[in-house]
Amino acid sequence: MSSSSRLSSILLLFLFVFTLITASEGNFYENFDITWGGNQRAKILNGGQLLTLSLDKTSGSGFRSKHEYLFGRIDMQIKLVPGNSAGTVTTYYLSSEGPTHDEVDFEFLGNLSGDPYILHTNVYSQGKGNREQQFYLWFDPTKAFHTYSIVWNPQCVIFMVDNIPIRVFNNMESMGVPFPSNQPMRLYSSLWNADDWATRGGLVKTDWAHAPFTASYRNFNANACIWSSSQSSCASKSTNSLQTTAWQDQTLDAPGRNRLGWVQKMFMIYNYCTDFKRFPQGLPPECKRSRFL
């Protein structure tokens, strides 16, 4: 083999490998824009397979999806800020835009080393939230990557952690409760300092001696309907999924209800649906069903 043909076959091989990487599933370059803290605090690494957000004394960082979705299943593996993360908040949520926006929220409130994170969740529909539920996790979310998922279809929104449902918001439009059903949403994530309220209501302050604080993301997967504003429709289904689960009509089956019951019994630390003091006029209408899924 001449040296020039060897060179061209090496080049071909490089091109081939490069194409494989750029076309691979869940690539962060293809699916996300860094919206905050670019270059210094937000980084896409390993050819787009890993993303890190960090927070230092100057500021935090964040990213958002290039696409807007209208129903789908979104999965992301996240490893949260380790060690003393008190005062930091890592958000991971779907949101539409405008005053009557819809939003499905995961927020991870950091803590002192050895003390548990709080997973804070909320659902906004037509601009109205106030539907908080909070949980401890059954593992240390800083030691390894875990999968946080949102299943969103016309029947319900399901929050899942490692494929275990932790919360369900059912479509109860028939009972007058708005449901996120017609506003396309983007996926967002950010890492920021919230030591004015996050850890024990703001009592524990962020310890900047431990900065920068870093959270890592990988294996993004959207098995979802991608919104196209020019056509006012879902133009394409993303195909970057090996999963065969049909999210389109997924609701909680009996094993799902059992697991949800286990999480709510063992790990739920706040539920707006049982906060009678907060709603002296009566609990919100969706609470009638959400306690007995």
Ligand X SMILES: *[C@@H]1O[C@H](CO)[C@@H](O)[C@H](O)[C@H]1NC(C)=O
Residues designated as active site: 103, 107
Hey, what are 134's tokens?
Answer: 């909070």
Q: What is the DSSP string of 171-214?
A: --GGGT---S-SS-BEEEEEEEE-TTTTGGGGTSPP-GGGPSEE
Q: Tell me the longest C-alpha to C-alpha distance in the chain.
A: 85
Nearer to ligand X, 99 or 201 (CB): 201
> Strand locations in 30-179, DSSP E?
32-36, 42-45, 50-55, 61-65, 69-79, 88-95, 103-109, 118-124, 133-135, 146-152, 156-161, 164-170
Nearer to ligand X, 71 or 92 (CB): 92
Subset of residues 113 to 132 that bind ligand X, contact rule: CB under 6 A? 115-116, 118
293 by Cβ neighbours in 10 Å (0-12 / 13-18 / 19+) ranks as middle
Q: Which distant-in-sequence residues (6+ apart) come within 8 Å of 44 by Cβ?
A: 28, 29, 32, 34, 50, 51
State in angstroms the smallest separation of the CB of 114 from ligand X.
9
Is the CB of residue 88 less than 8 Å from the CB of residue 98?
A: no
State in angstroms the smallest separation of the CB of 108 from ligand X.
9
Is the CB of residue 250 less than 8 Å from the CB of residue 151?
A: yes
State in angstroms the smallest separation of the CB of 274 from ligand X.
17
Give residue number: closest CB to ligand X. 115
Nearer to ligand X, 85 or 149 (CB): 85
- Give the residue carrying structure tokens 């900065």: 211
What is the contact mask toward ligand X in residues 75 to 114, using x (rule: CB under 6 A)? ----------------------------------x-x---
Q: Report the chain's terminal Cα–Cα distance, integer Å.
A: 69
State in angstroms the smallest separation of the CB of 204 from ligand X.
7
Nearer to ligand X, 70 or 118 (CB): 118
Total binding residues for ligand X by CB under 6 A?
A: 8
Subset of residues 152 to 181 that bind ligand X, contact rule: CB under 6 A? none
State in angstroms the smallest separation of the CB of 52 from ligand X.
22
State in angstroms the smallest separation of the CB of 194 from ligand X.
10
Nearer to ligand X, 121 or 199 (CB): 199
Subset of residues 190 to 219 that bind ligand X, contact rule: CB under 6 A? 198-200
Nearer to ligand X, 95 or 111 (CB): 111
Binding site for ligand X (CB under 6 A): 109, 111, 115-116, 118, 198-200
